Chains A and B, each alone.
Chain A
């Protein structure tokens, strides 16, 4: 039992983070694409397409962060100081993004400053998340179970590239979401943008897949021993297939499949990174068992989670069902 508890919790937190990345990813993505139109009605339409969802989507970040503390306090205590500035930047960016969302409607017609806050906040939040992701992959300096690196360890060419990669990836999620949820000019433009962004995301995925095993022998060993090649070959192949299918579907009339395939690419990349680093939660030194909370604490919260999480998931699905269908110009929820 004591062996399984950290695994269950790692799975739960991983699921929360994955849900966050996909769900808030498309919210942030439509904001990243915001400056590509100056048309007021189109901007309204873009914003309306995520209006009922964004705030529930963001809550998964709280659950992910809170969960990390509850289940793996030592990891939380190492990761957060290691990424002090990117985390602070992300929180502030999310505050700006969130209130810009709301104040924009209130401030009309003098809302251009909030349009800017919406865009800048979203790009900064996405970029900071990329920095943190990159910093996790490249590893954190730990001495005596405490962070022992410098304040700018996260600032390297690799992490900057990851930051850009996440901005592009969220942009793609946003664009394919708009293809699915809107029609008319916005949908057409998003389709054209999605093609470029898809190529961009795949390029970043390839660079990360080559760079990380090259820079970190432990990751090379994970992927390129013969036994593991036999086991893990479907991951890169499936990712490539999804990319290819998405490319073809973007050229056709398909509306939902590009979005679904983008999610699949994200999920496969996420799994790939998990495989690269398993069982380390603080690469390259501490495993999920090294940093786990007391079993009694794990069990105590797990009881609550097992009741409340299904209800939260059910309600989330219900909201998406309630607001199904296309968002037309001037038919928003506002």
Chain B
């Protein structure tokens, strides 16, 4: 593979979007969690929910800000690096992205301010409502992005004239066939990922001896969420896989490393796919199971990689291994969640230190599964940027290799500095925990600046805070 502007642009986009996706995935889940906490507080009047909501709102603010700054870079890259893409599908995708920008802008400019700074300024019900609107808004933002992405996976509702896509039917464009399941899969992933972060936070505080009611509440709520959504995610993921089988057979063949369409496909547990020879090395497989899972019968035949011309095949290794990482994490999530639920039912969840010890390190799992899944679906779409409409290599701008090399190097340096600082800040907030952090006075002025909400505890971290005295006493 040559190092050229095309390859470097792909690496740059993969790098910047991988950094980006972590934050929106987390904020989609977290905003829903905060809305839930505020709802519980309104309903029960129990102060612990309010303390938790305050705590997670501060973390939400930092994540949201980092999602915003890393997102701006992406929309500009469509122009700088992928300008032919912008032209060929701009009439169709542009409006979807346009609606996303409007939604995000509107949210950032309005209800977010109330959610972050409205603790003492608006009545609780309005605060709750704002949190709900922010949660709905982040999900709506995801709606438009996932719709655009799904259209690229399997374009519908358009016609091609002189090599340019023109919209014919907006409903067919927005609700293209692979969109509903992909959207549900991603949303569920976001909620599940957040549940694991909440679980790990609660477990971390329990493990270091902060046996507070807030930590226990986080663990309980997370177990409930995981025990339900993790298996649900498996069902949704399976349905999503059926869409892939129907609409993107080449991607499915790559995921399953399926080379011979004359036989039913085995479920390959492990192998080293050899793309040159067109076979799997070191294969461990269960006969017929992939056919059963994707097409409902042990004897079902479906297209293999060899049915596609070499230039129409996606790379095999990334989708193949990415899929196994994602599914592996998913299976672990289900089992771990059910084990937690079982321990809870037995009344031993807070005593079983081995389970809690593992739980405190589970926070990256969801993010890893999300990244692995996106690598599967995006690399699996290759060699197309929009399937059947435009090949990735034809979507590139006329820029030089040196230009892209410089910009990529700069992005790597800046992102490493800036996002490490941000993640470090989040980690410190989490380390402090809800009870210490929320004893600070809320900011006196509302503001639309997301990171502001994190500053009260941050100033305390750096030494000029005044811990209050309304700490919730540890439960005995």
Given the interface pairs A76-B83, A296-B91, the reply to whether A70 lies near B462 with Cβ below 8 Å is no
Min C-beta distance of A303 to chain B, whole Å: 10
Q: How far is the CA of A333 from the CA of B95 in the complex (A)?
A: 37
* Contact yes or no, B458 A147, CB < 8 A: no
Q: How far is the CA of A157 from the CA of B125 in the complex (A)?
A: 59
* Contact yes or no, B83 A301, CB < 8 A: no
1/0 per residue, CB under 8 A from A, across B91-122: the answer is 11011011101110110111001000000000
* Residues on the A chain within 8 Å of B403, using CB: 84-85, 151
Min C-beta distance of A190 to chain B, whole Å: 23
* B residues contacting the other copy or chain, number (CB 8 A): 65
| B170, B397, B398, B425 — most chain A CB neighbours (10 Å) | B398
* Contact yes or no, A59 B421, CB < 8 A: no
* Residues on the B chain within 8 Å of A87, using CB: 76, 79-80
Q: How far is the CA of A98 from the CA of B65 in the complex (A)?
A: 9
A95's partner among B170, B402, B414 (CB-CB below 8 A) is B414
Q: Does A107 contact B (CB under 8 A)?
A: yes
Interface of B is mostly: helix
Min C-beta distance of B442 to chain A, whole Å: 12
* Contact yes or no, B75 A66, CB < 8 A: yes
Min C-beta distance of B279 to chain A, whole Å: 42
Within 8 A of B (CB), among A90-122: 91-92, 94-96, 98-99, 101-103, 105-108
* Residues on the A chain within 8 Å of B91, using CB: 73, 293-294, 296-297
Q: Does B14 contact A (CB under 8 A)?
A: no
Q: How far is the CA of A38 from the CA of B174 in the complex (A)?
A: 54
* Residues on the B chain within 8 Å of A41, using CB: none
Q: Does A49 contact B (CB under 8 A)?
A: no
* Contact yes or no, B95 A312, CB < 8 A: no
* Contact yes or no, A297 B459, CB < 8 A: no
* Contact yes or no, A333 B447, CB < 8 A: yes
Q: How far is the CA of A253 from the CA of B215 in the complex (A)?
A: 58
* Residues on the B chain within 8 Å of A108, using CB: 459, 462
Q: Does B361 contact A (CB under 8 A)?
A: no
Q: Does A199 contact B (CB under 8 A)?
A: no
Within 8 A of B (CB), among A290-317: 293-294, 296-297, 300-301, 304-305, 308, 311-312, 315-316
* Residues on the B chain within 8 Å of A312, using CB: 105-106, 109
Residue of B nearest to A61 (CB): B72
* Contact yes or no, B73 A91, CB < 8 A: yes
* Contact yes or no, A88 B407, CB < 8 A: yes
Within 8 A of A (CB), among B290-341: none
Q: Does A272 contact B (CB under 8 A)?
A: no
* Residues on the B chain within 8 Å of A62, using CB: 72, 75, 101, 105
Q: Does B411 contact A (CB under 8 A)?
A: yes
Given the interface pairs A63-B105, A84-B399, A294-B91, the reply to whether A96 lies near B72 with Cβ below 8 Å is no
Q: Does B124 contact A (CB under 8 A)?
A: no
| B73, B86, B411 — most chain A CB neighbours (10 Å) | B86
Given the interface pairs A105-B459, A316-B109, the reply to whether A297 lies near B92 with Cβ below 8 Å is yes
Q: Does B284 contact A (CB under 8 A)?
A: no
* Residues on the B chain within 8 Å of A279, using CB: none
- Which of A50-58, A160-168, A181-189 contacts the other chain? A50-58
A80's partner among B83, B108, B166, B414 (CB-CB below 8 A) is B83
Q: Does A7 contact B (CB under 8 A)?
A: no
* Residues on the B chain within 8 Å of A95, using CB: 69, 73, 414, 418
Min C-beta distance of B212 to chain A, whole Å: 25
* Contact yes or no, A69 B86, CB < 8 A: yes
* Residues on the B chain within 8 Å of A66, using CB: 75, 97-98, 101
Q: How far is the CA of A92 from the CA of B84 in the complex (A)?
A: 24
Residue of A nearest to B164 (CB): A294
Q: How far is the CA of A88 from the CA of B76 in the complex (A)?
A: 9
Q: Does A192 contact B (CB under 8 A)?
A: no
B449's partner among A102, A103, A304, A316 (CB-CB below 8 A) is A102
* Residues on the A chain within 8 Å of B449, using CB: 51-52, 54-55, 102
Q: Does B445 contact A (CB under 8 A)?
A: yes
* Residues on the B chain within 8 Å of A70, using CB: 90, 94-95, 97-98
1/0 per residue, CB under 8 A from A, across B111-140: the answer is 001000000000000000000000000000
Give 20 CB contacts A-B under 8 Å: A56-B108, A76-B90, A77-B86, A77-B397, A79-B79, A80-B397, A94-B72, A95-B69, A95-B73, A95-B414, A96-B414, A99-B422, A102-B451, A106-B455, A107-B462, A146-B398, A297-B95, A297-B167, A304-B98, A311-B110
- Extra A-B contacts (19), CB below 8 Å, given A89-B410, A312-B105: A59-B105, A59-B108, A62-B105, A66-B75, A66-B97, A69-B90, A69-B97, A73-B87, A80-B83, A85-B403, A85-B406, A102-B451, A103-B421, A151-B402, A294-B166, A312-B109, A316-B109, A319-B448, A333-B445
The 9 closest A-B pairs by CB, nearest first: A73-B90, A80-B79, A77-B83, A102-B451, A81-B397, A70-B98, A70-B94, A66-B101, A106-B458
